[in-house]
Structure 1
Amino acid sequence: MKNPYHISVLVKESIEKLITDKNGIYIDATFGGGGHSHAILNRLDQKATLIAMDQDIDAVKRNLIKDKRFHLFHTNFIHIEDILKKKQIEKVSGILVDLGPSYFQITNPKRGFSNQLNCMLDMRMNQESNYSAKHIINEYSKNQLSQLFQKYGEFNNAKEIANKILKKRIKKEIITTFDLKNIFFIKGSSKSKKRFFARLFQSIRIEVNNEINLFQDFLFKSKNIISPGGRMAIISYHSIEDRIAKFFFKNRMFFMKKNDISRFSFKMIHKKVIKPSVPEIKKNPRSRSAKLRVAEKQI
C-alpha cells in the first residue's frame, strides 16, 4: 500500500538495480513515506526480509505497511549496526538510501522546513533533538554562518549573507521562516529568488541535522555489512552528497578516515548518474534535483 501523501523519487530505477536476491535481506535506511519500502517488498519473495529505519517519529507513525517480512525502527541510519545486531543479522543483500526530506516534513508548518510557509524556524528531522534552525540563526557566529552557507549552500557571497543575519538579530531575534526571508532583497527573476532561498534553507537544514557527517559515517559502517555481490543505491539531492557517494564507490583514498585502513571495492552498475525522467519531474517537481548512483560490492 502506497502512502497517499508522499511521492517517492526514482522508485522503479532504484529498486530494479538494487535487488539481486529475491530471498535476501534488504535495508531501507530512510523510510520516509514508505514508497521505496513498498516497492522493495513487491519485488521480494516470502522468505526475504526488509528492515527500514527513520529518525522522524512522524514517519514511523504514518507507516501503512503491514507485512511479516517488514521491520521498521525509529532511529537514525547511523545506528544500522545496532539494529542488525538486534535482529541477529551479519550481512545484507542491499541498502537503499534516499537523502531528501520527506513531503510530510516539507509541507508541515510545524516543522519549519519550507521557505514557502511562515512558521517557526525548526528543520529538525529528529524532533527529539534540541538543536534547531532557530538556534543556528540566532547563536552562530558570523564565521560559523559564513562557513555553512559557503560549504552547504555553495554561496560565493556567504560572508555578506551572514553579516545581514547578524545585523538583523542584534535588533530582534529571528524566530520564523519569514523573519529570515525578509532580511534579504533578491534582485532578478522569480526563478533566481526561489533558487536563493532554496539553497539558503537547504544549507541550514543540513547543518541542523548534521547530515553530511552522519552520511559519511553511515557509508563507512555500511561497507562492512553488505555481502559481496550485494548492492547499494543512493539517491542524493545536493552536489556534496552526490560527490561523497561517487568517491565512496570509487574508494578514493582522500575520502577514507584516518583510522580506517580497510580496503573495499564497489563496481558501478552504470557509468553515468541516473536522473528522474521528464514525466516524473512533471508529476513530482521536487524530484528534479535527485541523482541516483548504484554500485555492487566486490570484496
Structure 2
Amino acid sequence: MDWTSAQLRSLVELTRRGTITAVAETLGYTPGGVSQQIAALEKTTGMELLRRVGRRVELTDAGMTLARHAERILSTEAEAVEALERTRGEPAGTLLVGLFATAAAEILPPALRRAGEVHPGLTVHSRDMDVDEVYDAVASGAVDLALGLDYPDVPIPRDPALRVTQLYRERFSLAVPAGSMTDRTVVSLADTQDLGWIMPSADSYYGRAVRTACRRAGVEPAVLHEVTDTAATLALVEAGVGVSFVTDLMLRLRSSRFDVVELSERVERHIVVVIRSTAERRPTVAALVDILRVMAETRRDTSVQAAPPRR
C-alpha cells in the first residue's frame, strides 16, 4: 500500500500518547498535520483507523492491527538506513537532533563545527524542544538523537529501547540578587526557608528535582514565580524578586548582574545524549555521538563545572 513513514509513525505514537495534540507535540507537527496523516492512512487502507471517544480518540481494531505492523515496518526501515549508510564508507547523510536551549547555545555549535571538519558529508538539522520531551522524541523516531537532561534526585524513567550516555555533570549553585548575601560564600539549602524562589513547574523533572533537594534539607521552598525559561529566570533574579538554582552553562545564556553563591549540598543535573538502541551502529549517529563524547571529555573538568562564587 502507498503509505509513508510519517503516516505510520503518527499512528504508532497514537497508541502511546492517546491524543492528537500529544502526538503533534512529540513529532513536531501541528495537530491538523497529524490528523491529515491519519486521514491519508485511512484513505490508503480504505478502513476506519480511529474513533472519537469524548475529547479523546482511540484506535479501532484495524488501527491497532496496523499500528503493530507499523512498528515492525519502521524498525526495518531504520535497519535499511543503517545498511545504506555503511555502504558509503564515510559517515554521510542527514541527522535530525533534538535539543534544549542550553545545548543549542553551548554544546551543539562547537560539535557542528567539528563535524564539518572531520565528516564533511554529514548534515545536521536541529529542533529546539521541551527538554522533558526529548526522550519520547527519540523513542518515536521524530529525531535521530537528542541532547537532554537527567537528575539524580528524580531520574527520568529509562526506556529499554533507548541508550542514554552521560556527557557532563553540572553542580547547581544559588543565584541571588546582587548584594543580598555579601557575608556568605557558601550557603545551605536549610538556610533558604525565608527566601522566595524562582523555579520551574513541579510538573517538570527539573522542578521536581530541585524541590526534592530542598525538602531533603528540611525546607519547603516558597515559590513566588514558576518559570521554565532560563533567561527569564535569571532576569527575575537580577530584578531582585527571588533566588534560583543555576549552573555554569545556564549562566552563559544571559549576561546578568547578580551574585552566585556555592551550595553546601551537592545538587546536580546531568547532560546526556540519547539515541535509539537500534541506531547505535548507524555511522552518522555514531560519528556525532563520538564528537560529543570527545568534547565532553575535554571540557568536563573545566568549562562545565559549576561556576565559583562571584560577586
Q: TM-score, normalised by structure 2?
A: 0.25
Structure in which a larger fraction of residues adopt strand:
2
Structure ID, larger Rg: 2
Structure with the larger RCO, 1 or 2 (CA within 8 Å, 6+ apart): 2
